Chain A
Amino acid sequence: AQTVTQSQPEMSVQEAETVTLSCTYDTSESDYYLFWYKQPPSRQMILVIRQEAYKQQNATENRFSVNFQKAAKSFSLKISDSQLGDAAMYFCAYRSSLTQGGSEKLVFGKGTKLTVNP
């Protein structure tokens, strides 16, 4: 079974600076999908960015980008120009590309709590 590990339970960053959140995963599959979700104090789960494993180019969404290292099974999230509104829990998640039963599941890491200091 696939596992997702976020080794940083908490991180902090100064407003306007850059921070990188780590995520590693374990899989024997060659094709899959990776996601970062943000959960602010409101409890809402918000998709931040997604990456398809067969694409070599790292995904980017405005101030959010990923560093996808397939061989190392690493999928880190970089937040540039951090804003107070970026303070939240961030979850890394894995989804298989297989069509067999049960592979639709999204497997989550335990999360990283990001604090943004003014």
Chain B
Amino acid sequence: NAGVTQTPKFQVLKTGQSMTLQCAQDMNHEYMSWYRQDPGMGLRLIHYSVGAGITDQGEVPNGYNVSRSTTEDFPLRLLSAAPSQTSVYFCASSYSSRTSPLHFGNGTRLTVT
């Protein structure tokens, strides 16, 4: 089982460029989410989805878009990268049950210059 797969692992962008962080899971999880991790800030929720076709904003959604066309995939789009988006990004998924723990991808380190 691959679990949660994130690509790429590292990325450097120039201010204003766009890109998509990919996330795929093979566990048939209904719930998927994106977090960003910054030093001293913990993990902050960007967007999440409770099923195909359903997405909602988290704590820090500005500058990011998501879509969920299939159960397996949940890409995160940066339309116009800014230095403030330099961070480590994690995709995570779980079953809808509240007791179900999140399964995390290995993260993407993004630097915006």
Residues on A lying within 8 angstroms of B by beta carbon are 6, 9, 32-33, 35, 43-45, 47, 50, 52, 91, 95-97, 101-111
Contacts and interface: CB of A to CB of B under 8 A. Distances in A.
A97 B98 contact: yes
Contacts of B99: 33, 50, 52
Contacts of B56: 101-102
B8 interface: no
Contacts of B40: 9, 110
Interface stretch (B18-26, B42-50, B67-75): B42-50
Given A50-B99, A97-B98, A105-B33, A43 B41 contact: no
A50 B98 CA distance: 11
A25 to B, nearest CB: 13
Interface of B: 31, 33, 35, 40-45, 48, 50, 56, 58, 88, 90, 92, 94, 96, 98-99, 101-102, 104, 106-107
Contact of A110 (B42, B50, B102): B42
B98 A109 contact: no
Contact of B43 (A47, A52, A91, A97): A91
Nearest to B107: A43
B contact face: mostly helix, strand, loop, or mixed: strand
Contacts of B42: 6, 91, 108-111
Contacts of B98: 32-33, 95-97, 103-104
A43 B106 contact: yes
Contacts of A106: 33, 45, 92, 102
B14 to A, nearest CB: 24
Nearest to A98: B98
Contacts of B102: 35, 45, 47, 106
Nearest to B96: A104
8 contacts: A9-B40, A47-B101, A47-B102, A96-B98, A104-B50, A104-B94, A108-B35, A110-B40
Nearest to A52: B99
Nearest to B57: A102
Contacts of A110: 40-42
